[in-house]
Every structure is written in C-alpha cells, then in structure tokens.
Amino acid sequence: MKMIHVLGCVGWAAFFLLASTSIPFVGPFFSLLTPLPFLYYSTKLGFYQGVKLGALAIFIIALIAKLAGYPKIIIFAAEFGLFGLVLSELFRRKVSIGQAVFFATAFMVLLGLAFLSFIALSKNMGPLEMMLSYLRDHLQAAIEIYKEMGVPQEKAVEFEAYGKAFVDTIAKIYPSLMIVGTGFAVWLNIVMARPLFRIGKLEYPDYFLMDRWQAPDHLVWGVIASGFALFLLSGGIQLFAINALIIMMAIYLFHGLSIILFFLNKYHVPPWIRVGVYMLIMIQQLFLGVLALAGLFDQWVDFRKIHRRLDN
C-alpha cells in the first residue's frame, strides 16, 4: 500500500461524499458512487490490503468531515466503504451479476438498518419513527416558508394535507423504497466499475451479457399473489403485499432495461443517442412503467428471442 493509493482513495471518496452536500440537484447522485474508490483499490491491492486502506481512508475522511462541520458524513463513509469492500470480494468470487446485486443489496440493507437503529436508539426512537419525524420536520419547515412567502391560508392548508398524505404513504412503503434504492445503488456501482477497471487495467467479472439478463421465471407468481393480496386482503398482509409488489416490479424494471440495452447493442446505437434514451427514461416516469411491464411479459413474448435460441 503506497501513499498514492491512500491519497487516491481518500480524495475520490471525500469528493463524492462532500458533493452530496455542496452540489445542488446532482450532488446526492455523486454520493452513490462513493464505494467505487474502495472497490477499485481493494481489487487492485487485494482484499486484506484493501481492508487496511479502507479503514485508514474512513478515518481520514472522518477527520475531514469533522473539521468541515459535516459529522453525519462519517456514517456514510463507513457504510459505503464497507460496501465497496464487500463488492470487491463478490467480484473476486466471480458470482453472477444477479447474485452480486442480491448479496450486496442484502448486506447494505442490513448494514443500513443497523446504522439507523443505532442513531434512532441514541434519540430514544425507532428507525421508522426517526425517519418519519425527519420528514415531518422538513414538511413543517416547508409550510412555514410558504406562509412567509405570503401564500394564501387555504393553499397552505391544502399543501399541508398533501404533505401529511405523502408522509403516511412513505410510512407504508418505506421498507420497499429502502430495498429498491439500495439495489439501484448496487447496480449503479457495478455498471460504473467496468470503465474504471478498464482504465486501471483490472480484471472485471464476466458481466458483458448484461443485455441478456432476465428476472427468474417463477417471480411472476409472486407478482400475481401480491396483486391478489393487495386487492382482496387488508391490514398487515396488504402492507406486505404492497412492499413486495414494489420490489418485484423494480426487478422487472431492470429486466426491461436489459431489453433496451440489448436492442441498443444490436443496432450499434451511438453513445449520444444512448444517453438521450437513458435521460428520457429517467425524466419521464411513464417509460419506467412501460419497461417494468415489458420485463414482466418478456417470458411469454420473448422480445430478444433468447428462449427461442435456447430451444433450438
């Protein structure tokens, strides 16, 4: 482990973390890439050297965050650092991309719950209670700003009612949002690691067939069961069905994205058009629903003709 490795890991990780607080709009997106330096150097130096480097980098970032007045960044540095180390181990074991996303997501969810529980216990609250309290505080602050801007009272009351409905909805689907958001972060780091590894001349797992990835066939029965439970049952089972349905449709969304990627690769679409397609998908939520449905029905329609080729 050389000083240049320490500086590289600390520099990039600190940049990604501080960008989340200093760069408007896109800052939080940069923070999701914080595991990449830990993943890169752990793969480059080996797991045990990577652990030593990661611990040293987290310690240095903690000092920087403390001096800069952002103590909360310390928790994210530790969480993302551990995530990068775990992902490097999954890369070393050459697991499939589905297994890598699953195991890394499960690890991050458990680790995130542990951190949330620790912080919540320090405030004599539960994890969900703390998150809802955080949302309510921000909602109340927004309402006060609206009132100071001279917004009519009836509009402020209407905004407050919508805000309360939003918080109530988040309270019901927070588990699924946490899992889906974590899965997206895992997928993003796996995808972004490929060009990074290519620049560093490191071995990247055999994920070049990402455009042929598909959700397990039996997952459709979970969608059907959750759909029936959602409309026919109530109480805790209904809440479980809502969260399960959101998670499974997110999986089918990635299935739909792999279909889009397949045709972009098949017709050799130039990068600038690909960026436009991805931006359109991100901006227009309707396309997210279309892609999820495309992934759901792909096992019968077989848009990429994968099943037909296997049968032959």
Q: Looking at the structure, do residues 2 and 126 belong to the same domain, yes or no?
A: yes
Question: Is 26's pLDDT higher than 70?
Answer: no
- Domain of 180, CATH number, reads 1.10.1760
pLDDT band at 151 (very low <50, low <70, confident <90, very high): low
Identify the domain boundary among 188, 207, 226: 207
* Mean pLDDT computed over 235-243: 87
In this structure, the answer to whether residues 154 and 258 fall within a common structural domain is: no
Q: Which residues contact 277 (CB under 8 A, 6 or more apart)?
A: 260, 264, 269
Pair (40, 134) in one structural domain: yes
Q: Could you give the number of structural domains in the chain?
A: 2
Q: Is the dihedral of CA 120, 126, 128, 129 positive or negative?
A: negative
Judgement on whether residues 101 and 198 belong to the same structural domain of the protein: yes
Distance between start and end Cα atoms, the chain: 51
Where does a domain end: 158, 190, 207? 207
Residues 232, 203 share a domain? no
For 162-181, what is the mean pLDDT? 84
State the amino acid at position 233 in one-letter form: L
Specify the residue for token string 């995130």: 112
Same domain, 126 and 7: yes
Task: Show the domain range for 130.
Answer: 1-207
Amino acid at residue number 228: F
Q: Which residues contact 281 (CB under 8 A, 6 or more apart)?
A: 257, 260, 287, 288, 291
Pick from 168, 191, 207: which residue ends a domain?
207
pLDDT at 311: 46
- Is residue 36 domain-shared with residue 141, that is, in the same domain? yes
Domain shared by 297 and 225, yes or no: yes
The per-residue pLDDT for 312 is 44
Q: How far is CA 171 from the centre of its chain?
A: 19
Dihedral pair phi/psi, residue 9, rounded to 5°? -65, -50
Distance CA 233, CA 87 (A): 39
Give residue-wise pLDDT tens across range 116-141.
888 778 778 777 777 777 777 777 77
The Cβ-side half-sphere exposure at 287, using a 13 Å CA radius, reads 10
Q: What is the pTM of this model?
A: 0.82
119 and 236 in one domain? no
pLDDT of residue 15: 85
Q: pLDDT tier at 70 (50, 70, 90 boundaries)?
A: confident
pLDDT digit string (tens) for 80-121?
A: 999 999 999 999 998 888 889 999 999 999 998 888 888 778
**306/304: higher pLDDT:** 304
Does 260 have pLDDT greater than 80? yes
**156 shares a domain with 58:** yes
According to the model, what pLDDT value does residue 25 have? 64
Selected residue with higher pLDDT from 107 and 73: 107
Residues 150 and 227 in one domain: no
Same domain assignment for residues 2 and 64? yes
For 73, other C-beta atoms within 10 Å of its C-beta total 22
Least confident span in 64-73, 78-87, 99-108, 241-250: 64-73
